[in-house]
Copies of this chain bind each other. A is one copy, B any other.
Amino acid sequence: MKHYRHFEDAATVHALVEEIQGRHGCSYEQLAERLIVQLRDYFDGSHYAGGQPSRFQNVGSGQVRQRYLVALSGGIDSTVVTYLAVRAVGRESVLPITMPARPDDESVGLAALVRYDLGFSEPGAPYIIDIEPIVQQHMHAMSTLSEPQLHLGREHASQALEQKMRSGNFGSRVRVAVLSDLQRAIRGRILGTVNRTEYCQGYGTKFGTPISYDFGVLNELYKVDINELARVLAVPEAVRDALPSTGYFAGQTHEGELGASIEEQDIFAYLLFEKNMAPEEIAATYGASAEFARVIQYRFDVSEHKRLLNGLQPQVRLASTPLRL
């Protein structure tokens, strides 16, 4: 039986995962349908306010059709969003774009697999936009500035990590800038791909992916939900088996960074921010680590400023308790 670091008893973990997955009151096939309906509704109404068409509708050469834009990293979240969008509005109205920022980005292959599986093969469509030159240009420009904090020596592991985090964050913001430019050119709407677990943990870049969007799709779903959605949507196994990662550098995983399994991450997010339990109460009730609960509570508190930006943004709404701000 799998050992869980922050729970005395694995059976408690399984029971809580069941509780999380049961909270929708429907099967994952039905949940997928609910998401698809909301994606279709937003698309149909996604002309700007008042039902008026975008004033950029006819810019460029002739008729421009409306499309959903997805920053498809090849991770499970953006993949599930792509499958849902295709089911909702049809492949010809979805543009999944992969924007690698480093040559060893292993997600490019997974993203290509996703597009292949879904039959994306429009000749010359901008499925891959290489943002590495832009990120390199920026990091080089910064390294020539004389602010001491900007030249992080590579001799210390923590400084090398900081450098990777900075270039990773910069890449996330460039992706939003590129998608936004495409959005204007082709009259698209950007779909958000952040899940509730990582949203609570503070993963996601302010003004960058995956928390900057026109319409959020997975904001109310935990990772164990998304795994099940991936199953019912028949997402390729290679994508479903990969460990969640920011993709900022090879080998980064949330599981390794937090020291907790996906199930535990979900459970703590669920108990703290959906059932609004205190760390001590969680420890006493479930034989769980109060200390780890406090770590997650701290991450939630210091990342509040990121979630404030989306407090009023449109997103898929499900029956579960919305995230308090």
| Interface residue ranges, A against B (CB under 8 Å) | 48-50, 52, 54-55, 59-62, 64, 123-126, 129-130, 133-134, 137-138, 141-142, 145-150, 152, 158-159, 162, 165-166, 169-170, 173-174, 176-178, 180-182, 184-186, 205-208, 212, 214, 298, 301-302, 304-305, 308-313, 325
Given A60-B149, A60-B152, A145-B126, CB of A184 within 8 Å of CB of B207: no
Given A125-B147, A134-B134, CB of A177 within 8 Å of CB of B308: no
The complex places the Cα of A149 from the Cα of B182 at a distance, in Å, of: 9
Set B48, B146, B325: member contacting A125, Cβ < 8 A: B146
The complex places the Cα of A129 from the Cα of B142 at a distance, in Å, of: 8
List B contacts of A166 (CB < 8 A): 181, 184-185
Asked if B162 and A59 make an inter-chain contact with CB atoms under 8 angstroms apart, the answer reads: yes
Asked if A177 and B147 make an inter-chain contact with CB atoms under 8 angstroms apart, the answer reads: no
How many copies of this protein are present in the complex?
2
A299 nearest in chain B by CB position: B55
The complex places the Cα of A64 from the Cα of B149 at a distance, in Å, of: 8
Given A142-B181, A173-B176, A308-B313, CB of A186 within 8 Å of CB of B147: yes
Asked if A50 and B301 make an inter-chain contact with CB atoms under 8 angstroms apart, the answer reads: yes
A313 nearest in chain B by CB position: B308
The complex places the Cα of A170 from the Cα of B112 at a distance, in Å, of: 27
Most central of A49, A64, A313 by chain B CB within 10 Å: A49
List B contacts of A309 (CB < 8 A): 309-310, 312-313
Asked if A52 and B301 make an inter-chain contact with CB atoms under 8 angstroms apart, the answer reads: yes
Asked if A180 and B185 make an inter-chain contact with CB atoms under 8 angstroms apart, the answer reads: no
Asked if A49 and B301 make an inter-chain contact with CB atoms under 8 angstroms apart, the answer reads: yes
Given A49-B302, A149-B186, A302-B52, CB of A178 within 8 Å of CB of B60: no
Given A181-B142, A302-B55, CB of A147 within 8 Å of CB of B169: no
Most central of A48, A123, A214 by chain B CB within 10 Å: A48
List B contacts of A159 (CB < 8 A): 59-60
CB distance from A132 to the nearest CB of B (A): 10
List B contacts of A150 (CB < 8 A): 60, 126, 182, 185-186
Asked if B169 and A181 make an inter-chain contact with CB atoms under 8 angstroms apart, the answer reads: yes
CB distance from A90 to the nearest CB of B (A): 18
The complex places the Cα of A55 from the Cα of B303 at a distance, in Å, of: 11
Asked if B126 and A147 make an inter-chain contact with CB atoms under 8 angstroms apart, the answer reads: yes
A186 nearest in chain B by CB position: B149
List B contacts of A178 (CB < 8 A): 138
A146 nearest in chain B by CB position: B124
Asked if B174 and A169 make an inter-chain contact with CB atoms under 8 angstroms apart, the answer reads: no
Asked if A137 and B138 make an inter-chain contact with CB atoms under 8 angstroms apart, the answer reads: no
List B contacts of A173 (CB < 8 A): 173, 176-177, 180, 207
The complex places the Cα of A162 from the Cα of B58 at a distance, in Å, of: 11
